[in-house]
């Protein structure tokens, strides 16, 4: 099977500060990769490089076998992103925000799609509400609705469950797991909630100061480092 | 990559929705042009009636005001539209989508055109009823001049956006201030030859000075100087090209420095 995302030797420095050093990994359909590391490890920078929001200093990125930097617009039609820390414009209603993005992703039958997704993420009654009136949990779910508008093949999530009620953390985790299995969706996510992360990811990339300290499937990593949980792995490698 | 009209429409829609919900943005769009026109229109009527009864003072001032407002609305429509996306921290969401920078700019250009059209339509209606000045009866050449003003306004808008991307939000004041830098050299309300020598020299390089000189000729003498209009277009094309290049360099610089993830915080 061919990887749907291939990251080769990515470096990033801001001036003299090295943020990422020689990061490489591959992602296959239905993979759920957790990028794990302490604050300032370079996790978000890596996600933003994978979205072409930050330009890498060097390295190559291939989505679906195509060079990302030469086919950005075409590739981003099937890649999506959501973050707890980036909200949609507050002055528009939930529906208006989604309609804007439905146009940006050239979604056909957008109204139907929006209604279905709002239902799936339990936001149906918030359709006409101004985005500023949403709670942080509802805002994250709205971000996820936006991220699923284009039926992505790869989904990048920056701390998707931070600030959510335990009920929604469980719901979102189960939903992501279901979508990855059922729709062959590949997911990359960062999170500090190692317990929750361990339940859904099958691969992990552990980084510190921009350097990859471990990468592989959870089974391989647990065996290699002789640990029984992600938390143990984290403390063994990263501290 | 082909341009997507749907994505361009997405950008226009985002700003139309914003306008729909915002009373203050409507005030900004409609109130200031109205106040400007009424204030300067009546002052000019007073001056003409009591001090300088000769000539077409009122028409000259009102024409200049409408033209200047078209430039300001088009420039701010672009620069403030960009700032709206910064304030809402929306740039990141926009540019993780397939939207290209060309489509984004085209969306903002069209929206700024809409804002300039609304403001100038309002001013033209007020000028007709309050001062009996019918701008649309001044001939088709008026549109030639208006298009030039809009292109120059976009050049200033693009430069403003480039400075904001390069220097950060500290530079956002330029969205309101940069166009005013060109005001004295543009000879909006007076002929170029009343300017001091150095300012006259500077005015040669400002396309709007040729447009306002032509506008005065049209209103006072009923004559159009196509040579002046051509000079204005020649300069505007150069300014527009330079602005696009500077904006793209700043956009790439912002991506290199990771500014899209921080801007708006």
Summarised one tens digit per residue, pLDDT across range A16-74 is 899 999 999 999 999 999 999 998 899 999 999 999 999 999 999 999 999 999 999 99
Same-domain pairing of A144 and A194: no
Of A45, A81, A99, the CB nearest to B258: A45
* Domain termination site, one of A151, A174, A208: A151
CB–CB contact A76 B260 (8 Å): no
Of B21, B258, B260, the CB nearest to A14: B258
Q: How many CB atoms lie within 10 A of CB B87?
A: 16
* Domain termination site, one of A151, A170, A202: A151
Q: Of all helices (H) and strands (E), which one includes residue A34?
A: strand A32-36
Q: Do B67 and B146 meet the contact criterion of CB atoms below 8 Å apart?
A: yes
Q: What percent of chain A has pLDDT over 90?
A: 78
Round to whole Å and give the CA distance between B173 and B169: 8
CB–CB contact A53 B256 (8 Å): no
Number of H helices, E strands in chain A: 9, 10
Q: Is A45 on the interface with B (CB under 8 A)?
A: yes
Same-domain pairing of A11 and A65: yes
Same-domain pairing of A121 and A46: no
**Rounded average pLDDT per 10-residue block, chain B, 265 residues:** 92 96 91 92 85 75 91 94 92 94 97 94 92 77 92 96 91 89 91 93 96 89 89 97 97 93 73
- Establish whether this prediction's ipTM goes over 0.95: no
Same-domain pairing of A72 and A90: no
Of A48, A77, A99, the CB nearest to B258: A48
DSSP for residue B222: S
Same-domain pairing of A49 and A146: no
Q: How far apart are the first and last CA of chain B?
A: 32
Same-domain pairing of A234 and A156: yes
Of A76, A90, A96, the CB nearest to B96: A76
Counting the structural domains of chain A, the total is 2
Same-domain pairing of A125 and A162: no
Same-domain pairing of A185 and A239: yes
What pLDDT, on the 0 to 100 scale, is given for residue A117? 96
What pLDDT, on the 0 to 100 scale, is given for residue B169? 84
For residues A204-224, give the mean pLDDT: 94
Q: Mutation test of the interface with chain B: which of A43, A100, A114, choosing the one with the most B Cβ atoms within 10 A?
A: A100
Q: Nearest C-alpha of chain A: how many angstroms from B91? A: 10
How far out from the chain centre does Cα A26 lie?
15
CB–CB contact B97 A101 (8 Å): yes
- Structure tokens given for B55: 């000539």
Q: Residue A8's beta-bridge partner residues?
A: A60
For residues A206-210, give the mean pLDDT: 93
**Residue A196 confidence class, pLDDT cut points 50, 70, 90:** confident
- Taking CA atoms, A68 is separated from A55, A149, B6, B258, B265, in Å, by 11, 21, 22, 18, 28
- H-assigned helices in chain A: 43-50, 72-76, 94-104, 110-120, 136-148, 166-182, 194-200, 218-225, 230-238
Q: Is B88 on the interface with A (CB under 8 A)?
A: yes
Q: Do A54 and A29 meet the contact criterion of CB atoms below 8 Å apart?
A: no
Same-domain pairing of A66 and A183: yes
What pLDDT, on the 0 to 100 scale, is given for residue A144? 92
Window 109-128 of A: residues touching B by CB (8 A cutoff) are none
Same-domain pairing of A68 and A116: no
Round to whole Å and give the CA distance between B74 and B179: 11
Round to whole Å and give the CA distance between B116 and B72: 8
Round to whole Å and give the CA distance between A101 and A110: 10
What pLDDT, on the 0 to 100 scale, is given for residue B206? 96
* Domain termination site, one of A123, A151, A179: A151
The per-residue pLDDT for range A136-149, each reduced to its tens digit, is: 888 989 999 999 99
Chain A partners of B90 at a C-beta cutoff of 8 Å? 88-89
Domain of residue A73, CATH code: 3.40.50.300
Same-domain pairing of A122 and A165: no
Could you list the residue range(s) of the whole structural domain that residue A68 is in? Answer: 1-78+152-239
Mean pLDDT, chain A, whole residue set: 93
Round to whole Å and give the CA distance between B259 and B173: 19
Same-domain pairing of A63 and A168: yes
For the question of whether the overall pTM of this predicted structure is more than 0.90, the answer is: yes
- Taking CA atoms, B222 is separated from A111, B44, B62, B135, in Å, by 54, 21, 16, 13
């Amino acid at each position: 099977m061919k990887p749907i995302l291939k990251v080769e030797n990515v470096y990033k420095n801001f001036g003299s500060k090295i943020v990422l050093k020689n990061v490489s990994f591959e992602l296959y359909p239905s993979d759920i990769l957790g990028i794990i590391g302490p604050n300032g490890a370079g996790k978000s920078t890596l996600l933003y490089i994978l979205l072409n929001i930050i330009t890498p200093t060097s390295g190559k990125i291939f989505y679906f076998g195509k060079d990302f930097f030469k086919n950005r617009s075409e590739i981003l039609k099937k890649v999506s992103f959501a973050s707890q820390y980036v909200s949609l414009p507050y002055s528009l209603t939930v529906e208006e925000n989604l309609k804007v993005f439905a146009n940006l992703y050239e979604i056909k039958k957008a109204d139907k799609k929006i209604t279905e997704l709002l239902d799936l993420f339990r936001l149906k009654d918030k359709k006409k509400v101004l985005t500023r009136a949403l709670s942080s949990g509802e805002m994250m779910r709205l971000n996820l609705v936006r991220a699923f508008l284009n039926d992505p093949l790869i989904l990048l999530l920056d701390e998707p469950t931070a600030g959510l009620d335990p009920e929604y953390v469980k719901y979102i985790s189960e939903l992501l797991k279901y979508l990855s299995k059922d729709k062959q969706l590949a997911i990359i996510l960062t999170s500090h909630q190692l317990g929750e992360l361990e339940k859904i990811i099958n691969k992990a990339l552990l980084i510190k100061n921009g350097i990859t300290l471990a990468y592989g499937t959870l089974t391989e990593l647990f065996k290699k480092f002789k640990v029984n949980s992600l938390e143990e792995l984290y403390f063994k490698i990263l501290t | 990559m082909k341009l997507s009209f749907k994505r361009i429409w997405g950008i226009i829609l985002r700003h139309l929705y914003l306008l729909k919900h915002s009373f203050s943005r409507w005030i900004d769009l409609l109130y200031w042009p109205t106040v400007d026109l009424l204030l300067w229109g009546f002052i000019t009527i007073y001056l003409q009636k009591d001090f300088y009864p000769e000539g077409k003072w009122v028409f000259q001032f009102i024409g200049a005001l409408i033209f200047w407002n078209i430039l300001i609305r088009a420039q701010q429509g672009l620069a403030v539209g960009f700032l709206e996306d910064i304030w809402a921290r929306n740039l990141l969401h926009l540019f993780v989508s397939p939207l290209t920078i060309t489509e984004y700019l085209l969306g903002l250009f069209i929206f700024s055109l809409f804002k300039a059209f609304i403001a100038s339509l309002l001013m033209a209606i007020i000028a007709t009823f309050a001062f009996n000045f019918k701008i649309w009866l001044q001939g088709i050449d008026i549109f030639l001049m208006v298009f030039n003003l809009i292109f120059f306004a976009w050049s200033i808008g693009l430069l403003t956006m480039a400075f904001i991307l390069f220097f950060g939000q500290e530079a956002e004041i330029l969205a309101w201030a940069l166009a005013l830098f060109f005001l004295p050299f543009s000879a909006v309300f007076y002929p170029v030859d009343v300017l001091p020598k150095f300012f006259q020299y500077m005015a040669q390089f400002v396309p709007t000075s040729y447009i306002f000189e032509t506008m005065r000729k049209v209103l006072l003498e009923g004559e159009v100087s196509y040579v002046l209009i051509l000079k204005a277009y020649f300069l505007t094309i150069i300014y527009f090209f330079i602005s696009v290049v500077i904006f793209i360099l700043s956009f790439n610089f912002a991506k290199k420095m990771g500014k899209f993830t921080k801007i708006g915080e």
